[in-house]
Copies of this chain bind each other. A is one copy, B any other.
């Protein structure tokens, strides 16, 4: 039998999706699962986006431009400009989800053996894309005690080597919910300039910012036009994760021309989903106002609920719809599996994402889980109750305790 690649062996399993077989088995037994593990919002997709697809008159479902519909890029540029980010359509390439935008970006700026520095914990699939690209992730530790704020710049500088090509941030953060301040963004911009690095910001949660705080895009820092690459997606913004439409944006012409070659190789992003995404841009601000009000309510419910569980530590997220919770256990991987295989109360259980997969440093975050607050309030209340009950049972065995 022919051997598979080292890269294939090294590819991490998704910490979010690897529990799927246990969940399927639990559901087959008739157990209801509250899914706190996956960032699939329960918010309705804007009707305008769905209607645009229904009303499109298509005879031949044909390829689009490799960079995506020009009409969509024009409208997207106008959307960014309204957000205070001055962008031209030529500075945007539409991708198949934020995932593909990250892959094109990694391919354009890194070679196998190169390094990218990422504050950890970070979105687990960055590990996957880095492994697929043969790139080493160099983590810089951010602490739950600091609410996952930007680590000191000196911590980054200690890690920079001739192989360092980029710093990647997620803002607001998945899985931390942390929102970088304007001052933190300025510090990162100065660092990128000083060491001639790319600064890549995953800003897919831009609209999900709470408590009257403001989001600061790296593309507003005009001193780093040649360093800044922004990753975006419609998935969370318009609750249309299944569209698989994202984009990358940069004012670095050479980078855009290079990324475009990767885009051409895969021909084009999905046509139907581009129609939906273009229409979604007409979504009124009131949609976001309602959604954000809903998420703030859920966040408050979740955080106060978690704080009532003995031994649980959590920091208050300022954006996105995730938090990292430290549990009074040794091994969150085992606990997450146990929840699906061995636990249920009144035919119900809860699913969480073990946080170790969001760290790159081995044996980090072993007692942490990522919780997504994408369920409606009453379900969230029930899920927290189940988590509390489950923890009591699980930790009654000494071996499981922290």
Contacts and interface: CB of A to CB of B under 8 A. Distances in A.
Interface of A: 1-9, 11-14, 17-18, 20, 38, 40-45, 49-50, 53-54, 58-66, 96-97, 99-100, 103, 107-112, 114, 125, 128-129, 132, 134, 165-166, 192, 196-198, 226-227, 239-244, 252, 254-255, 258-259, 261-262, 264-273, 276
Number of copies: 2
Contact of A5 (B4, B6, B49, B110): B110
Nearest to A255: B4
29 contacts: A1-B226, A1-B252, A1-B254, A2-B196, A3-B196, A4-B109, A5-B109, A5-B110, A5-B258, A7-B107, A8-B108, A8-B262, A13-B261, A44-B60, A45-B58, A53-B54, A60-B240, A61-B242, A61-B243, A97-B267, A99-B266, A103-B266, A125-B265, A132-B262, A243-B271, A243-B272, A244-B267, A270-B273, A271-B273
Nearest to A64: B242
A239 B59 CA distance: 10
A387 B44 CA distance: 53
Contact of A59 (B44, B64, B261): B44
Contacts of A11: 107, 258, 261-262, 265
A20 B49 CA distance: 29
Contacts of A41: 60
A226 B1 CA distance: 6
Contact of A62 (B62, B241, B270): B241
A231 to B, nearest CB: 13
Given A125-B265, A273-B270, A109 B2 contact: yes
A258 B128 contact: no
A198 B4 CA distance: 9
B2 A198 contact: yes
A117 to B, nearest CB: 13
Contact of A265 (B1, B63, B129): B129
A226 B40 CA distance: 36
B261 A109 contact: no
A195 to B, nearest CB: 9
